């Protein structure tokens, strides 16, 4: 299998898994009705509508702001796709596919709902205080894993090791 084909497969699988998980949680499980669902002592399923960018930054529900976010995302996905098409390592190409798939998955949410569907919440209780991580989804996981893999490939991958 060529690296490009693997990257495309990574992108498609990411979009499918992300959208399937969100559709199941919204329409079958009906997480809006259930509210927070404790899965483990440190992990809950919750429904959060993210109208901002990563980690809920730049929260703005105006149509102009949503359009601007979508435009930036389209430009980023096109740039990443060009990079993926030119990539020569399997790891970098799959990583770029994960990032592209995650961006497309969250963009589908913005088009369908006007916000990104987030549902995974990690937390820890220390004493009487609860510390929560940001609520996220599978698209976000794919983006983080893709970025980490790109960093690994750029610093420790075979081409990086051969660089002077």
Residues marked active site are found at 118, 140
- According to DSSP, residue 41 is labeled T
d(CA 45, CA 58): 24
d(CA 87, CA 153): 11
Q: Give the alpha-carbon dihedral of 84, 85, 90, 91, to 10 degrees.
A: -10
What radius of gyration do the chain's Cα atoms show? 18
């Amino acid at each position: 299998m060529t690296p490009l084909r693997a990257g495309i497969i990574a992108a498609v699988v990411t979009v499918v898994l992300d959208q399937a998980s969100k559709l199941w949680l919204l329409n079958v499980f009906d997480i809006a009705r259930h509210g927070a669902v404790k899965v483990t002592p440190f992990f809950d399923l919750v429904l959060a509508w993210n109208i901002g960018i990563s980690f809920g930054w730049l929260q703005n529900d105006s149509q102009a702001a949503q359009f601007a976010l979508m435009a930036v995302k389209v430009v980023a996905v096109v740039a990443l796709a060009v990079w993926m098409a030119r990539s020569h390592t399997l790891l970098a190409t799959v990583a770029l596919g994960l990032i592209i798939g995650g961006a497309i998955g969250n963009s589908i949410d913005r088009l369908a709902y006007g916000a990104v569907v987030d549902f995974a919440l990690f937390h820890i209780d220390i004493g009487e205080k609860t510390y929560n991580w940001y609520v996220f989804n599978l698209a976000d996981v794919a983006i983080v894993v893709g970025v980490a893999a790109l960093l690994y490939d750029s610093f420790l991958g075979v081409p990086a090791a051969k660089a002077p």
